[in-house]
Amino acid sequence: MAQAGGKGAGPVGAALAGVFGANGHVLAGSLGIALACDLIIAKDSAGFGTPEINVGLFPFMIMALIYRNVGRKKTTEMLLLGERMTAAEAREAGIVVTNTPGVLTDAVGFSLLARPVRRRMIETLASGGAATATILARGLPITRQGIAKHLALLAEAPLGLRPLALLHGLDAAYEVAGAVERFR
């Protein structure tokens, strides 16, 4: 089944940083739990769907979460047909941020994304393509050196973050492999 991990950040009442790691099937209620999280990272063999419709039960409990995270037509297809999606199809639909071929068991990797700055870095890279630490530091309340340290930690996690060739002399560019195309 799927596993989830997350940590609270800031004072009481602050938003929780939820990261969902999908190792297997994410169906019915577990899809609702996944969609309630900030980021979903999936193993390539993970499956997503609403199979309860196939036995005559409409997925009312998770319908609002699906509509909030997925486009209207794809949501309607999911709710009425009950077909399963692969991790790649879920990424195209906007459910999964990135998928990875390895098994997602590293709780440390998930806890790395609990920090809001790191989540924003991944989201920025996923939506804007490759960027250097200097470019990322312009939009975040952290120094370029801090960004470089966070990127080094994130590169070790199973998130699909990879350094590219050196640009502008000393600054390396980073991108989220596989997730960039979805946001363009």
**Distance from C-alpha of 38 to C-alpha of 43, rounded to nearest angstrom:** 17
Per-residue pLDDT of the chain (184 residues; tens, 9 = 90+): 334 443 333 333 334 457 788 888 999 999 999 998 877 888 888 999 999 999 999 999 999 999 998 999 999 999 999 999 999 999 899 898 776 666 555 555 566 666 778 878 877 777 777 788 888 888 888 888 888 888 777 776 666 666 665 445 566 777 765 443 333 3
Q: Where in the chain is the domain with CATH 1.10.10.10?
A: 115-183
The H or E element spanning position 131 is strand 131-132
- Given this model, what pLDDT does residue 86 score? 93
Q: What pLDDT shows up at residue 164?
A: 62
Kindly report, as residue ranges, where domains of CATH 3.90.226.10 are found in the chain: 3-100
pLDDT of the residue at 11: 34
pLDDT for the residue 181: 36
DSSP state of 38: S
CATH topology classification for 115-183: Arc Repressor Mutant, subunit A (1.10.10)
Entry pTM: 0.55
Q: Sign (positive/negative) of CA torsion 6, 85, 1, 179?
A: negative
pLDDT at 106: 52
CATH code of the domain made up of 3-100? 3.90.226.10
| 81-119 b/e (C-beta count within 10 Å ≥ 16 → b) | ebebbbbebbbebebbbbbbeeebebeebbbbbbbbebb
